[in-house]
Chain A
Amino acid sequence: MKAIVQTRLIHLKKHWVSLIFWLAFPVIATVAIMGLTNSLQQDSKVPVGIVLEETTPLATTLVDSIKRTPIIQVYQLSEEEALYQLQQHKLDSVFIIQDGYEEQIMKGSRNRLIKSYRSDLSFAYTPIAEMIISYVQQDTGRTKAAYTIQELNKQYSNSTQNWTWGEIIEKSKDIEKEENLLYTTFRFFNADTEADANQFVLFNPWGLWAVFAFLSTCMIMDWIIKERRKSLTPRFSFMHISLKSYLLKNAGLYLLLFIIVDIMTLILFKFNMREVITQDLIGSILSFRLILLMGAFLLAILSTRLPTYYGISFILTLIIAIISGAILPNEGLMTQYPWLEIANPLAPFLSREIGYGWFIVFGSLIGIWFVRKEKRNVKGA
């Protein structure tokens, strides 16, 4: 094995740039596409200026709720700056949470809590204003409910005068109605915006990564075709290693290299995309990598010319991308041809399973290839 490592290093020295490029390609491409879709999402948000005149808990919670809304990009500014930017049309609208906000809410007052500005080009003012009002109503509703219950409690325990049944029902209906009203408004906006957000999360990072990993594995394994060149095959008869063992052992080295890169990818995704590393994920990545390598190995063994090999690799990548749903939603395709799901080598990985099927198929094919006797008529030697 030492000889294999040493001879491999001589080869790698000649094309380490392309090797590193293709090793890094799946991660870089995935991160780039995820970043791009995120920034697209960012760009399509409505810029809204918020001016906070007081920093009471209720006021800051309100700002936080607004910030969490997917369709809004909140800029917290001073009043002067916010109005200036509104004039420049850098902001769609401006909302000022006025001094005394919490106090007014506590009192149950709804007057002049928030001052709003819009420009002649504001297009999202009304829905955003309604949404903010719904948040405020939520706050006032809650305070009101709390206040009412407090009052009820006081009256119930302190006074000798009993509440009639009708009075309690009336009161709770009152509260319910208000809460319901608030609830629906709240739901409406949230549901809407959540749907919007979902549309932007087109790609699952591991799905993207798997498709790119497929392509990069094929590109990296092209050494098999380059090193199996006809003129050199007679040499391997006069060495202590046969050409087949040479290819297999080198493929083993590449497997090791790939696994190291995969572990690095896993760590990177963990920090970058808050992926949770589970045993299932690690197991499915390792088995996915093994299947990829075996598949690329077989493809390279069967191809004699580089252009053919590259061409087939690209086409297969495209097919796999499509049947995995990485490019287009493929619900219809899947229900029409359920075997696609079974045939897709990415499927077990995407559902965090170990793909035994392809492993067995590829493993047996490689086994057959290895023990099969080569025809002895070496032409051109």
Chain B
Amino acid sequence: MLKVHNLSKNYGSRSVLNDVSFNVKEGEVIGLVGENGAGKSTLLQILATLQRPTSGSITLYDKSYENKKKLRKEIGFVPQDIAIWDEFTVEENMVFFEKLAWGNKTKDQLKKLCLDMKLDRWKEPVTSLSGGMKRKLNIAISLIHDPNLLLLDEPTVGIDLKSRKEIGNYLQRLASDKGKIILYTSHDMDEIITLCDRIVCIGEDPFYQDLLQKAGKSIIPV
């Protein structure tokens, strides 16, 4: 269970998040929507312990966010900017991050992790991969240490429909089969509507809320 209570974030005098509260259960996929600059990335970074909230509290499995070091083993964070070694192959990227990650995985396990997302270019250099393949690798690396809370910042931005579906299906399976808690942002409303159990609307703009209500989705009030 992830509990977010009265979370606020100011950058200087500028308020980005204002009293955000919601709970997420294991096995749930939560979508974060909102216009550009609404604070989606900021919320994900706070949940990933990469930034401190100005006020409010967060707990994951009843553990407070004070002890960052311990918490991070539970968290898989997929950055919005693709964070991989461009000069490596898929295999080298996976092996590199496995060596520095908590826990151990064999090469076969790493390969399977990629194949689960239909990333099959194991020996190929990253430079020859399509955008979709790179995004998949970006996700796979974040999953090496088997985190329970998955935070993905626009994991499917700018890639083809087939790759988007493959990534979406994979996330859904992670939630339903392994009970992971998944929060992710996207600007693709169709994707959000089909994939997410519930949705958090960030920001003041009523546009997204109206849209989601029409689609009959459950909106988490924040």
Contacts and interface: CB of A to CB of B under 8 A. Distances in A.
B157 interface: no
Interface string B61-100: 0000000000010011101111111011000100111011
Given A378-B45, A381-B45, A237 B83 contact: no
Nearest to A240: B102
Contact of B83 (A14, A234, A240): A234
Interface stretch (B47-55, B181-189, B206-214): B47-55
A376 interface: yes
Given A231-B81, A232-B83, A381-B41, A238 B76 contact: yes
B156 interface: no
Contacts of A367: none
A239 B101 contact: yes
B135 interface: no
Given A231-B82, A235-B83, A377-B51, A3 B45 contact: no
B83 A376 contact: no
Contacts, number: 71
B145 to A, nearest CB: 7
Contacts of A36: none
A241 B97 CA distance: 11
B172 interface: no
A336 interface: no
Chain B interface mostly helix, strand, loop or mixed?
Answer: loop
B51 A6 contact: no
A377 B9 CA distance: 12
Interface string A1-37: 0010011001000100000000000000000000000
Given A234-B50, A381-B50, A10 B83 contact: no
Contacts of B87: 14
A14 B45 contact: no
Nearest to A246: B100
A380 interface: yes
A378 B82 CA distance: 15
B97 A239 contact: yes
Given A231-B79, A231-B82, A378-B45, A3 B99 contact: yes
Interface string B31-57: 000000000010001001111100000
Contacts of A236: 100
Interface in B119-143: 141-142
Interface in A355-377: 376-377
A28 B141 CA distance: 42
Query: Among the interface residues B11, B84, B100, B153, which one has the most CB atoms of the partner chain A within 10 A?
Result: B100
15 contacts: A3-B99, A3-B100, A6-B99, A10-B88, A231-B82, A232-B85, A235-B142, A238-B142, A239-B101, A239-B102, A240-B101, A246-B100, A380-B80, A381-B79, A381-B153
Interface of A: 3, 6-7, 10, 14, 230-232, 234-241, 246, 376-378, 380-381
Interface of B: 11, 41, 45, 48-52, 72, 75-77, 79-85, 87-88, 92, 95-97, 99-102, 141-142, 145, 147, 153
